[in-house]
Amino acid sequence: MTSPAGVNRSKLTLLVGTINRLPLLKRCLEQVIEGLEPGYEVIVIDAGSTDGTQTYVRSLGHPKITLREDGKRLGQALSFNRVLKTIQSDYVCWISDDNVLAPSALKTCVSILDQEPKIGMVGLKVKDVNGPWVNAPYIGGVWKSGVLNINQGMVRFDLFRRIGFFDLEYGSYGIDADLTTKILLEGYQVCLTKEVAIFHHRMHEEHPGAFLPIERSRQKSRAQTLYRRKFWLMHCSTTQYVRLLATDWTLALARHRYKWRKHWRYQLWRERTLHFFEHTLGTQFCLRDAQNLILCRWVSPLDLWVNRSKPYYLVQDLGKMRWLLSMTSRRDRERPHLSSAQKANPLSTT
């Protein structure tokens, strides 16, 4: 496909961020290569690895895989944006080196965006294969404002460019919820794949997390402050706090805290309930789905039923509330440009 300017335009551009995790990157790219379709391209963004990552990517000699070298950690937002400004594509997807794509994940997401023009972004459902959440049906949740917090997703590139890509003010933490909110405010829908699209293989012993707990807490607090300043009317209301607390308490009561969880009557009730929903909705149903349906704002209560035969669900749409929320949200284009110091250090608070 060719863009109006005559530049070759890909159907899908997949961005893969990495730093010093060559074993994980190899496993990631092996699966990516198997799922490449005509018109797809892959860009590996290296943040200054010293373990032979650059040599390995070049040695692949794959015409659809390109290496971009940042030379150092720039933060996800700045690192991705530098690449996004140089490409032409219908859709863009981003993942990490510790992600392994399901065989048909990319094809399914592309099909959704092709067939559903109202959907602006598809979240790729993620499941941990090791670590503390290995028994969870999938990970990822809902931001404090009630929007889907999509860590890995596929978005329409023209829409992505129109909203200014990722917000550099966040650096790394918080860019997910910010992106979801901006897409919703543009009048598009956001949804999640029903099937697990990504298997998460984090090395918990060598790399327990992207940041130390203290740093993670600081970034989370800062991200929430930035989000509240940008989208103050969409930020969590008192009613939302009550829903969050009530849901957390209910699920904790049902799953963890009391001995009757092991009682045969509870197990029978749980199995019959899940079987009923699976049979009625035509898809696998779990308590995490119920939790997200309750916590997500701007999702139809009938979402699971309406989308029972589709490869996606949890469709968020601001609908008639969009005009009010758009006027009262501090948009990127209305803000002064970031200084050169902020661009060099996105996590700086100055």
Q: Tell me the pLDDT tens digit for each residue of 60-97.
A: 999 999 999 998 988 889 999 999 999 999 999 999 99
In a domain? residue 313: no
Q: Are residues 164 and 252 in the same domain?
A: no
The whole-angstrom separation of Cα 13 and Cα 197 is 17
Over residues 95-152, the pLDDT tens digits come to: 999 999 999 999 999 999 999 999 999 999 999 998 888 888 898 778 888 899 999 9
Matching residue, tokens 């690895």: 49
Q: Are residues 228 and 244 in the same domain?
A: no
Same domain, 117 and 159: yes
Span 262-283, pLDDT tens digits: 554 555 555 555 555 555 555 5
Residues 6+ apart with CB under 8 A from 50: 20
| pLDDT band with cut points at 50, 70 and 90 for residue 346 | very low
The domain that contains 165 carries what CATH number?
A: 3.90.550.10
End-to-end CA distance of the chain: 43
Is 254 in the same domain as 119? no
Q: Say yes or no: 51 and 180 in one domain.
A: yes
Note down the domain range covering 129. Answer: 10-235+321-344
Judgement on whether residues 195 and 272 belong to the same structural domain of the protein? no
Query: Which pTM does this prediction carry?
Result: 0.80
Q: What confidence score (pLDDT) does residue 127 get?
A: 94
The number of beta carbons lying within 10 Å of the beta carbon of residue 217 is: 11
DSSP state letters, 263-310: SHHHHHHHHHHHHHHHHHHSS---HHHHHHHHH-SSB-TTHHHHTTTS
Tokens of 71: 């030379």
Give the model confidence (pLDDT) of 182-227 as tens digits.
Answer: 999 999 999 999 999 999 987 655 654 455 667 777 888 888 888 8
Does 310 map to a domain?
no
How large a percentage of the chain has pLDDT more than 70? Answer: 71
Number of domains in the chain: 2
| Contact status, residue 147 vs residue 184, Cβ threshold 8 Å | yes
